[in-house]
A and B are shown apart, each in its own frame.
Chain A
Amino acid sequence: DAGVTQSPTHLIKTRGQHVTLRCSPISGHKSVSWYQQVLGQGPQFIFQYYEKEERGRGNFPDRFSARQFPNYSSELNVNALLLGDSALYLCASSLDHEQFFGPGTRLTVL
């Protein structure tokens, strides 16, 4: 079975631009979570969605938003990009307690 997929793999943007990251969960998983990981740190929680409803939000500004679609795939949107948004963005899907990560999207903001 396919694991969690994310697109794009890499992305380069300039300050002030907007970005959309995409995630498809493991088949049968209804929950998707988004994390930001900067170098040398553990992943930081951004959002969790379950059955298209937001179930949790981390300590990130309103420039960050997300949604989940009827097929359980998800998008993470970031507006007005800042240099500090450069990071690895991880999507994780879960059926129960265990979360399985996709390969991530490496975002570089110049």
Chain B
Amino acid sequence: GAGVSQTPSNKVTEKGKYVELRCDPISGHTALYWYRQSLGQGPEFLIYFQGTGAADDSGLPNDRFFAVRPEGSVSTLKIQRTERGDSAVYLCASSLGLAADTQYFGPGTRLTVL
């Protein structure tokens, strides 16, 4: 079946602009996660959804970052007033929802802020 998909694959924007990154999880997966990966580093947790609600948003770096999942499937990560330091690969993952489950990752969106 289809895996996790993310769009766009690449996004170049100017400092100060607003961007939206989209994630389509595997069908039937109730848990959805966003991570951010800087060059040469492992991914860092941003936010976790169980269904429509954000169960843990402790990894969001500041209030410029926001994520939604209104119908419990597709999620959008929103970044306001982008800064050069926001440049990274943003990864989305989904799982069936239990702690023991494997997280399946999408290909990521590479965000470049000029």
Query: Do A and B make up one complex?
Result: no
Chain B contact residues, CB within 8 Å of chain A: none
